[in-house]
């Protein structure tokens, strides 16, 4: 859009001025030539430079010519309007005064991507300005956002996702039971969906399609190698884990195990340890060994942290019967934290407390993470920063062993019924669990372009992250453990890094 703003020339009426368009400055008065007419500047070419004013008339009594009208703005990519005149016309050769200079005005045109979130209107941003009334945080409203239920905002600019829709589910009990009975292959995608991660995306899509979601997933050993894979029976999608342990959301939950990720009585199930009676054989052996997660071990001085004192033998950092579920995810542009729930079971309780043969579960986070994330990347730990094992402070679903201090096993034993993790033949005195725990995790933040420098108004980086859920046995292949994973959630509010009931 271009616009010319006219300058004005004032001529004394007593001199009988004749105004001539594009005048040449000649006069016709009998008492002396009158001042030349005001010269009109030409429109600017393909630049923003305006033309100069016309010359004053060549008489002894003429009034100086008026300043030229400002030239029309050139066809450039600048958002400013046409320029004003560069100055007044030259005065008459005798007493004429200089003309009035042209006026200059600059006007800023509306900016596409006014909220600075990276999405333009042409990219599908339905809320580009706080003055549009669509949201008081337009920088958090775009096609990359999570449609958060019940907040009255079209967060993701997608009419198909309704504000009244519940958090989606994408894994059913019927299919899970069928897979268990047929011993079907349990893929990483099935595990991801069982955790309620239902949206998938690409690594580098064009901007309008750059939505949040799972970019990729895979199953590896603890050190990330894939040449030798965990056994299929070590992964499971379960509709329950006995009559008293149900999914935290939806119909299913994911399971990873150093033994068999199944319920007692399911096809392929093997008891997590040998029993005291003849013929009671357990201890599933996946016959895999590799280094424990290398970066995690290196960040802890070449050891695995433990409240009992670090294990120092050569077998302490070897991961036997390991399983790692690795998920690469692009977070929503409006998510400042996420959470998920887990429940860790082990048959090592109580006889192997503080031994070098413990099974471990860690959740390692990498990517553009928050400053609160530890150097070793583990986000699942107790108040003493210990990884989850039978020695963890949360391990309280159990039957108190002889000599246990008061308050031990405060979680009771109902969570051990019907899943084989409490002992042979329905016993609930051997083995235990943490019960369901929630892990709250902050995401990386950056300055809000509309409020720079304010740490209380930062917005998510929305850069991809990778989460590695890993379980393994240290020391040997005997006595098995299992972890249930469920109810993954994105949250719009910041969170402190914590694991809690």
Lowest-confidence region among 45-49, 295-299, 328-332: 45-49
Among candidates 217, 210, 177, which has minimal Cα distance to 193? 217
**pTM of the complete model beyond 0.85:** no
pLDDT beyond 60 at 85: no
DSSP for 190-225, written as a single string: HHHHHTT---B--SS--GGG---EEEEEEEE-TTS-
Lowest mean pLDDT: which of 18-27, 64-73, 227-236, 488-497?
A: 18-27
Residues 222-256: b if buried by 16+ CB within 10 A, e if exposed: bbbeeeeebbebbbbbbbbbbeebebbbbbbbbbb
Q: Which two tokens stand for residue 187?
A: 């893929």
Which residue reads 């268990």 in tokens? 180
Lowest mean pLDDT among 29-43, 183-197, 384-398, 462-476: 29-43
Report pLDDT for 72: 44
Q: Say yes or no to pLDDT of 93 above 50.
A: no
Evaluate if residue 53 carries a pLDDT over 60: no
- Tokens linked to 27: 């006069």
C-alpha 192/C-alpha 190 separation (Å) is: 5
Q: Higher-confidence residue: 131 or 220?
A: 220
Assign 170 a pLDDT band (cuts: 50, 70, 90): very high
> Would you place residue 300 in the very low, low, confident or very high pLDDT band (cuts 50, 70, 90)?
very high
Q: Which of 105, 91, 99 is nearest to 5 (CA)?
A: 105
Lowest mean pLDDT among 84-98, 367-381, 431-445, 484-498: 84-98
Confidence of residue 22 (pLDDT cuts 50, 70, 90): very low
Residue 110: the pLDDT is: 55
Q: Which DSSP string do the residues of 391-459 spell out, in sequence order?
A: TSTT--BSPPPTTPPTTTTTT-SGGGTTSSTT-GGG--SS-EE---EEEEEEB-EE--TTSTT-GGG-E
User: For residue range 332-379, what is the model confidence (pLDDT) as tens digits?
Assistant: 999 999 999 999 999 999 999 988 888 999 999 999 999 999 999 999
Read off the pLDDT of each residue in 145-163 and give the average, rounded to a whole number: 94
Dump pLDDT digits (tens) for 436-458: 999 999 999 999 999 999 999 99
- Residue 107's pLDDT is what? 47
The pLDDT of residue 475: 86
> What gap in Å lies between CA 115 and CA 136, rounded to an integer?
11
Tell me what pLDDT residue 46 has. Answer: 40
Over range 121-140, report the average pLDDT. Answer: 93
In the structure, how many helices (H) and strands (E) does the chain have?
3, 14
Which residues make Cβ contacts (< 8 Å) with residue 413, sequence separation at least 6? 397, 398, 399, 422, 428
pLDDT of residue 218: 98
As a whole number of angstroms, the distance between CA 28 and CA 72 comes to 32
pLDDT band for 17, please (50, 70, 90 cuts): very low
What does the pLDDT read at residue 100? 54
pLDDT range class, residue 94, cuts 50, 70, 90: very low
With 70 as the cut, is the pLDDT of residue 62 above it? no
CA 374 – CA 367 distance, rounded (Å):
13
Summarize pLDDT for 211-226 with one digit per residue, the tens.
999 999 999 999 999 9
When pLDDT is cut at 50, 70 and 90, the band that residue 311 belongs to is confident
- Which stretch of DSSP H or E encloses residue 179? helix 173-182
Residue-level pLDDT at 315: 83
Predicted confidence (pLDDT) at residue 208 exceeds the cutoff of 60: yes
**Residues 110-124, mean pLDDT to the nearest whole number:** 89
Give the other-Cβ count within 10 Å of 90's Cβ.
18
Burial of 218 (0-12, 13-18, 19+ CB in 10 A): middle
pLDDT attached to residue 196 = 98
* pLDDT for residue 192 is more than 70: yes
Helix (H, G, I), strand (E, B) or coil at 296: helix
């Amino acid at each position: 859009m271009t616009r010319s703003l006219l300058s004005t020339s004032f001529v004394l009426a007593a001199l009988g001025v004749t105004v001539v368009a594009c005048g040449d400055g000649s006069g016709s008065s009998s008492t002396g030539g009158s001042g030349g007419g005001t010269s009109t500047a030409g429109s600017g070419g393909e630049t923003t430079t305006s033309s100069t004013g016309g010359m004053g008339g060549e008489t002894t009594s003429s009034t100086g010519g008026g300043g030229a009208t400002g030239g029309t703005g050139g066809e450039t990519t600048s958002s400013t309007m046409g320029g004003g005149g560069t100055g007044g016309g030259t005065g008459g050769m005798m007493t004429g005064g200089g003309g009035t200079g042209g006026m200059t005005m600059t006007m800023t045109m509306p900016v596409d991507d006014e909220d600075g979130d990276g999405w333009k209107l042409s990219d599908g941003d339905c809320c580009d300005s706080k003055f549009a009334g669509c949201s008081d945080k337009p920088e958090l409203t775009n096609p990359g956002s999570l449609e958060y239920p019940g907040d009255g905002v079209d967060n993701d600019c997608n009419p198909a996702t309704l504000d009244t829709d519940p958090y989606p589910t994408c894994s059913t009990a019927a299919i899970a039971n069928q897979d268990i009975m047929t011993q079907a292959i349990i893929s990483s995608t099935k595990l991801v969906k069982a955790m309620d991660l239902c949206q998938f995306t690409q690594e580098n899509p064009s901007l309008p399609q750059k939505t949040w979601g799972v970019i990729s997933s895979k199953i590896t050993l603890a050190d990330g190698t894939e040449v030798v894979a965990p056994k299929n029976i070590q992964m499971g999608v379960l509709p329950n884990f006995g009559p008293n342990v149900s999914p935290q959301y939806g119909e299913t939950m994911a399971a990873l195990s150093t033994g068999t990720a199944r319920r007692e009585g399911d096809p392929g199930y093997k008891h997590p340890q040998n029993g005291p009676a003849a013929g009671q054989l357990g201890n599933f052996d996946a016959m895999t060994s590799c280094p424990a997660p290398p970066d995690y071990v290196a960040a802890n001085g070449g050891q695995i942290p433990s409240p009992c004192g670090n294990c120092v033998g050569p077998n302490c950092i070897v991961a036997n019967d390991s399983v790692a579920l690795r998920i690469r995810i692009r977070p929503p542009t409006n998510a400042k934290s996420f959470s998920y729930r887990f429940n860790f079971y082990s048959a090592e309780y109580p006889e192997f407390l503080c031994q070098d043969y413990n099974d471990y579960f860690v959740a390692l986070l990498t990517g553009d993470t928050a400053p609160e994330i530890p150097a070793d990347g583990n986000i699942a730990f107790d108040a003493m920063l210990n990884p989850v094992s039978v020695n963890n402070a949360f391990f309280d679903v159990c039957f108190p062993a002889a000599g246990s201090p008061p308050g031990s096993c405060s979680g009771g034993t109902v969570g051990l019924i019907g899943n084989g993790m409490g002992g042979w033949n329905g016993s609930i005195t051997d083995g235990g669990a943490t019960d369901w725990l929630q892990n709250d995790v902050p995401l990386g933040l950056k300055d809000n372009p509309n409020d720079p420098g304010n740490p209380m108004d930062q917005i998510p980086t929305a850069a991809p992250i990778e989460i590695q859920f890993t379980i393994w046995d240290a020391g040997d292949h005997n006595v098995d453990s299992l972890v249930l994973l469920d109810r993954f959630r994105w949250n719009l509010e910041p969170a402190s890094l914590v694991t809690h009931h």
